[in-house]
């Protein structure tokens, strides 16, 4: 089970976000406190960030190395600052290859996406139903083999067909559809998802079976002044708020948080 971290607010360095805390994402990769499955996240990592002065599309840095073993990341982290960041450390589901094509975040135009969780027995259950829903464009966009990338393709496909819907509405429909399919195929889905277009972050904590993986948010904290942070585990002692089970949170550049139940 992977670990997520997302940030929106005043410009922050990757170094401060990723490293400078007692339970940083680096520490969580080898000593997590709240993982449901597995003990470490050593199957690679990825970071996506936005810089409106350079591009409308986000930048991505990925590796199949454990995050603590990438000698370039500390140098990159000292240099890069951003107002919107999604980061991820991977604990691969058995059978899903250790490959950059399976590494997150996934990107499509100005959207970034990460997923912590799994569709149980994905290849035997929802693999075909999801792919049958996709138009030719998004079918061909899938480079890897993960359930996560297929979920992202489904989101993109549905949004393209329903452009008047908000990102929150698209995410809600996606989760309810996957829940329905999972029940029909006698499986289950855990889906802590994070989506961003650089101006908003939309995140879910969701499971069709039992308690979803852990997810928290932090606001109005002096460590990250003028920002909202979303994390699988608190990075340090503070007023971290747990996401309600089966909920969607959205937060924009005004830092106003909205919560809805699914």
Active site residues: 2
Question: 196 near 202, Cβ under 8 Å?
Answer: yes
CA–CA gap between residue 94 and residue 226 (Å, rounded): 40
Burial 66-93 (b: 16+ CB within 10 A, else e): bbeebeebeeebeebbbbbbbbbbbbbb
User: What phi-psi label fits residue 109: left (phi over 0), alpha (psi between -120 and 50 degrees) or beta?
Assistant: left
**Measured distance CA(89)–CA(23) in Å, rounded:** 14
Q: What is the 3-state secondary structure (H, E, C) of 144-183?
A: CCCHHHHHHHHHHHHHHHCCCCCHHHHHHHHHHHHHHHHH
Contact 258, 250 (CB under 8 A): yes
Pairwise CA distance, residues 236 & 183, whole Å: 37
């Amino acid at each position: 089970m992977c670990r997520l971290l997302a940030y929106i607010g005043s410009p922050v360095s990757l170094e401060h976000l990723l490293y400078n805390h007692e339970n940083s994402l680096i520490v969580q990769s080898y000593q997590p406190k709240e993982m449901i499955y597995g003990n470490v996240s050593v199957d690679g990592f990825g970071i996506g960030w936005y810089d409106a002065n350079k591009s409308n599309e986000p930048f991505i840095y990925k590796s199949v190395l454990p995050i603590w073993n990438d000698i370039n990341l500390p140098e990159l982290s000292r240099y890069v600052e951003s107002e919107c960041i999604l980061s991820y450390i991977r604990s691969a589901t058995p059978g899903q290859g250790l490959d950059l094509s399976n590494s997150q975040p996934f990107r499509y135009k100005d959207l970034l996406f990460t997923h912590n969780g799994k569709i149980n027995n994905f290849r035997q259950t929802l693999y075909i139903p999801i792919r049958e829903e996709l138009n030719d464009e998004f079918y061909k966009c899938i480079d890897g083999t993960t359930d996560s990338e297929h979920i992202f393709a489904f989101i993109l496909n549905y949004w393209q067909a329903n452009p008047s819907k908000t990102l929150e509405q698209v995410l809600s429909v996606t989760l309810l559809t996957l829940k329905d399919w999972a029940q029909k195929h006698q499986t289950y889905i855990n889906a802590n998802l994070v989506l961003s277009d650089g101006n908003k972050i939309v995140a879910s904590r969701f499971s069709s079976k039992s308690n979803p993986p852990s997810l928290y948010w932090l606001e109005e904290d002096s460590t990250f002044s003028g920002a909202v942070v979303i994390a699988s585990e608190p990075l340090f002692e503070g007023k971290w708020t747990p996401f309600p089970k089966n909920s969607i949170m959205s937060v924009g550049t005004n830092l106003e948080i909205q919560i809805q139940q699914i």
